[in-house]
Amino acid sequence: MKRVWIETYGCQMNVADTELILGVLAGEGYTQADQPEGADVLLVNTCAVRDNAEQRVIGRMGELQRHKRPGTVLGVVGCMAQRLGPILLERVPKVDLVVGPDGYRNLPELLGHAAGGMRTADVEYRSWEHYEDFPQVRAAGPTAFVTVQRGCDYRCTFCIVPTTRGPERSRRLADVVAEVRALAEGGTSEVTLLGQTVNSYHDGTDDFAALLRAMGTVDGIRRIRFTSPYPTDFTPSVIEAMATTPAVCDHVHLPVQSGSNSVLRRMRRRYTRERYLDVVDEIRSAMPAITFSTDIIVGFPGETEDEFADTLSIVGAAGFDDAYTFKYSVREGTPAVKIRDHVPDDVATERLDRLIDVVRAQARRRNAAHVGEVYEVLVERPARRGDMMLARTRRNHMVLVDLPTSSIGEYHKVQLTGTTGSTFTGALHHARLAVL
Ligand code: SF4
């Protein structure tokens, strides 16, 4: 029996791809190792979105190569593998194998070659690839990621994803339903549908609205989340499906990237600030309890102080509950490389600090207003510290609750008793209060 150690960096799509890779390899008799020492295969599933993510991986490869012994294969998979391909073989001499996101089907064969001393890079795009025939190996738990779409057809100028993951393609609705039904039969009650622009999902017959409705009919699925949607793909029918499918949660992660129309144009985002805010309003009108989180990039080439002020002000205008904030990271191979007007790093850092202050202050204010309210939570996992459990509301608030490990997967009503600003504490609640 061969053992594979795999580390995952980056987004939820990579987490789902790691489960897929384990599924592909399980079919060939591999089991998952719980430490790199002694594993026959060492894989790093990588992200290419920011330069520092890639630097971390290079550093980690250096550490992992210490665990190599004769016959051990060290491989890089995922977006960085796709972006750099054979260059990675040159740059890190101990790496035996480089495989992009469309090549996982070939992993068993490639691993065999690599064990025999043949170093290979497989970075071919296979736009037909859905991996429909490989069951994923998932950690048991009440929640699961389900990839419904791979690749991206949009061309945001800062983004390497269209290069690393190829063109957009959607799985057939019936296949997604079958997978989710099997998950529900195994005890999963919450699924997160994954795609780069997940709400542009279309399998040739059915769109994202139909997919949401179909998910809502699966017995045992009590919560549906999705990430990441694209603002202008929230058609009226998608919003209606969200509002009328009770399992769809009251939270949307809706990347805005910038609040400035001129920056959005340079990023080649397909909306204006005004259109983005309209979409937020349309969703909020249909689902008044909804919360929004977002992604924001500061220091995009040419960003002026006035343009940055528009980004600061959209945090309040949209009423974000949370935001993932980043300094622009130049990516070779993206159109933005050609925009020469770079923002000095110290200016970008100072703007990022100001943005974080605004986001945190707003999150604290909004969260403090929820203390005392009663929510239904799904208990997900033990908290990192202490012996509390981490549970989540439909609005995506994380709540620390004093419950035993055996409560994982259960739904409870909790009253929020306090907040650190981002996370809540909660106590089990039995009285009859409105549950949110
Ligand atoms: S929509 Fe834009 S940011 Fe998102 S994956 Fe596609 S190109 Fe990248």
State pLDDT tens for residues 109-151.
999 999 989 999 999 999 899 999 888 899 888 999 999 999 9
Q: Do domains 2-122 and 374-428 have the same CATH topology?
A: no
pLDDT at 436 over 70: no
Give the residue-averaged pLDDT of 280-297: 98
CATH class of 374-428: mainly beta
Q: What's the pLDDT score for residue 385? A: 77
**pLDDT value of position 432:** 57
Residues above pLDDT 90, as percent of the chain: 86
Q: Which atom of ligand 1 is nearest to the CA of 155?
A: 7
pLDDT category, 295, cuts 50, 70, 90?
very high
Please give the residue that has the higher pLDDT: either 135 or 315: 315
d(CA 143, CA 187): 9
Second CATH level (architecture) for the domain 2-122: 3-Layer(aba) Sandwich (3.40)
The confidence score (pLDDT) of residue 140 equals 83
Helix, strand, coil % in the chain, rounded to nearest 5: 35, 25, 40
Residues 413-432: pLDDT tens digits? 999 999 987 899 999 987 65
How does pLDDT run across 357-369, given as a tens digit for each residue? 999 999 999 999 9
User: What is the CA(268)–ligand 1 centre distance, in A?
Assistant: 10
Predicted confidence at residue 108, as pLDDT, reads 95
Q: Does pLDDT of 28 surpass 80?
A: yes
* Ligand 1 centre distance from Cα of residue 186 (Å): 33
What does the pLDDT look like over 245-257, one tens digit per residue?
999 999 999 999 9
Percent of the chain with pLDDT over 70: 99
Kindly list the domain boundaries of the chain, sorted by start residue: 2-122, 141-249, 374-428
What is the pTM for the complete model shown?
A: 0.93
Task: State the closest ligand 1 atom to the C-alpha of 230, by its place in the atom list counted from 1.
Answer: 1
Mean pLDDT taken over the chain:
94
Distances (CA, A) of 33 to 1, 41, 48, 75, 370: 11, 9, 25, 15, 43
136 or 156, higher pLDDT: 156
Residue nearest to atom 8 of ligand 1 (CA): 159
Pocket test for ligand 1, best of 13, 154, 194 (most atoms within 8 A of CB): 154
- Nearest 5°: the CA angle 253, 257, 262 is 145
Q: Averaged over 374-403, what is the pLDDT?
A: 94
Tell me what pLDDT residue 243 has: 98
Mean pLDDT score, 238-246? 98
| SS3 category, 29 | coil
Helix (H) or strand (E) holding 427: strand 424-428
Q: Give 119's Cβ-side CA count (13 Å radius).
A: 14
Q: Which of 373, 366, 369 is nearest to 435 (CA)?
A: 373
Q: Which residues line ligand 1 (CB under 6 A)?
A: 152, 154-156, 159, 161-162, 196-197, 230
Centre of ligand 1 to C-alpha 161, Å, is 6
Q: According to the model, what pLDDT value does residue 185 have? A: 95
The CATH architecture that domain 141-249 belongs to is 2-Layer Sandwich (3.30)
For the ranges 127-141, 153-167, 270-284, the one whose mean pLDDT is highest: 270-284
**Among 10-14, 134-138, 177-181, 308-312, which is the least confidently predicted range?**
134-138
Average pLDDT over residues 308-331: 97
Average pLDDT over residues 22-41: 94
324 forms beta bridges with 295
Question: Distance, CA 159 to ligand 1 centroid (Å)?
Answer: 6
